[in-house]
Amino acid sequence: MKIQVNGEGRTANAGVTVAELLRELDIRPDRVAVEVNTEVLNRQEFERRGLHEGDHVEIISFIGGGAGECGDLSIGRL
Amino acid sequence: MSDDRLIIAGREFKSRLWVGTGKYKDFVETKKAIDTAGADVVTVAVRRVNITDRSKENLLDYLDPKKYTILPNTAGCYTVEDALRYARLARAAGISDLVKLEVIGDERTLFPDTAGLIEAAKILVKEGFIVLPYTNDDPVVAKKLVDIGCPAVMPLAAPIGSGLGIRNPYNLKIILEMVKVPVIVDAGVGTASDATLAMEYGADAVLMNTAIAGARDPIAMAEAMKYAVEAGRLAYKAGRIPRKLYATASSPIEGML
């Protein structure tokens, strides 16, 4: 199935969970927040939340920032 | 000054100098500047993880959340909806309910959209966030934010990254008189004396990023800022002498030939 992860198209196995997606992407779950179709998930939901065709997933983390537009943003805005 | 603690929403902070973590050369320099400044509150921004290049290091590898209070901001948000979204994501990613709330109203000045700020603050306070709002140097807005339930306010000294220092000291003084919660002067500090002045007026803390990160020698400036904030706080507590137009001799007249 096709899903969007951080604005980019991606192919994933049907029913893949958020936790599995993070493992596949080599992302530590304790450092990120995940939003599926603009719904923010609790970390406890990562293991059981299955993804579906066309889902929009956002994976965010903390970067260096003071205020306003934060310097060099190599990872873009949401 | 170990007994002079800053307390916000029941949390105790050792340092009255808070720093941002943007614009540094790398994470090593970021951490060195923070440690030299003695800051125990550091602001961070919320952004997409780079999923194509996983070799990039994570800021939190350098800043142990047990040692520093990580204060996520909603920097770059121009609407209430965006600010709420970023705040909720920050809480989900983080370790606490703290958020430095920014709703920016104008790209050139990065001045806050205070109407949007109040609206977003109301919602987030209801959701249980500890909202520290980045606001204009407007006493009425500061008062409204406190009435909503913000446990501190963060008025700007000058536009973010401008280094202009405190543009409106009289408004800042009025804010300090009007609100009974900690006031953290945020943004616009250019050099050490600006930070000292803010503290001398009675600000409870100063938050800065560019003044340190953008200095020719960021680590040396971090040290200067540490002393500047401490000196200003001490002078505030010591109580300055009144300004007078004419001289008052400090040596006795008695015993002169």
Q: Quick: pLDDT tens for B40-98.
A: 999 998 888 888 877 677 788 888 888 899 999 999 899 999 999 999 999 998 878 99
Beta-strand (E) ranges in chain B?
6-8, 11-13, 17-20, 41-48, 69-72, 98-101, 130-135, 154-155, 184-186, 205-208
The whole-number pLDDT of residue B184 equals: 97
The whole-number pLDDT of residue B172 equals: 96
- Torsion sign over Cα B63, B65, B68, B73: positive
Numbered residues of chain A with Cβ closer than 8 Å to any chain B Cβ: 5-8, 25-28, 31-35, 38, 40-43, 58-78
* Average pLDDT of chain A, as a whole number: 84
The whole-number pLDDT of residue A69 equals: 52
The whole-number pLDDT of residue A74 equals: 33
Facing B44 at nearest CB: one of A26, A38, A63: A63
The whole-number pLDDT of residue B199 equals: 97
Element (H, E) at B31: helix B27-37
Element (H, E) at B60: none
The whole-number pLDDT of residue B155 equals: 97
A46 vs A20: CA distance, rounded Å: 8
- Chain A residues whose beta carbon lies within 8 Å of the beta carbon of residue B133: none
Nearest Cα residue in chain B from A71: B23
Q: Residue B232 is which amino acid?
A: G
B14 a catalytic residue: no
B136 vs B158: CA distance, rounded Å: 9
- Torsion sign over Cα B113, B115, B116, B120: positive
The whole-number pLDDT of residue A24 equals: 93
pLDDT at A16 over 80: yes
Structure tokens at A17: 């969970």
Facing A69 at nearest CB: one of B30, B75, B92: B75
Q: What is the DSSP letter of B67?
A: T
Q: Helices B139-148 and B114-126 meet at what angle, rounded to 10?
A: 20
**B34 in helix, strand or coil?**
helix
pLDDT at A72 over 60: no
B133 vs B150: CA distance, rounded Å: 7
* Average pLDDT of chain B, as a whole number: 93
How far B15 CA lies from chain A's nearest CA (Å)?
17
Residue A77: exposed, middle, or buried by beta-carbon count in 10 A (0-12, 13-18, 19+)?
A: middle
Q: For each of the domains in chain A, give its residue range(s) and CATH number, in order of start.
A: 2-77 (3.10.20.30)
pLDDT at A8 over 80: yes
Binned at pLDDT 50, 70 and 90, residue A77 comes out as: very low
The whole-number pLDDT of residue A31 equals: 83
Distance (Å) of CA A31 to CA A19, B60, B66, B95, B107: 13, 8, 14, 10, 30
The whole-number pLDDT of residue A30 equals: 87
Q: B151, B184 in Cβ contact below 8 A?
A: no
Catalytic residue among B23, B56, B100, B244: B100
How far A77 CA lies from chain B's nearest CA (Å)?
6
Distance (Å) of CA A24 to CA A37, B15, B53, B57, B82: 20, 41, 13, 18, 28
The whole-number pLDDT of residue B195 equals: 97
Binned at pLDDT 50, 70 and 90, residue A71 comes out as: very low
Q: B229, B17 in Cβ contact below 8 A?
A: yes
Q: A67, B186 in Cβ contact below 8 A?
A: yes
Backbone angles phi, psi at B12, to 5 degrees: -105, 135
The whole-number pLDDT of residue B79 equals: 93
B216 vs B194: CA distance, rounded Å: 17
pLDDT at B151 over 50: yes
Cβ–Cβ gap A67/B72 under 8 Å: no
- Give the number of other Cβ atoms within 10 Å of residue B197's Cβ: 21
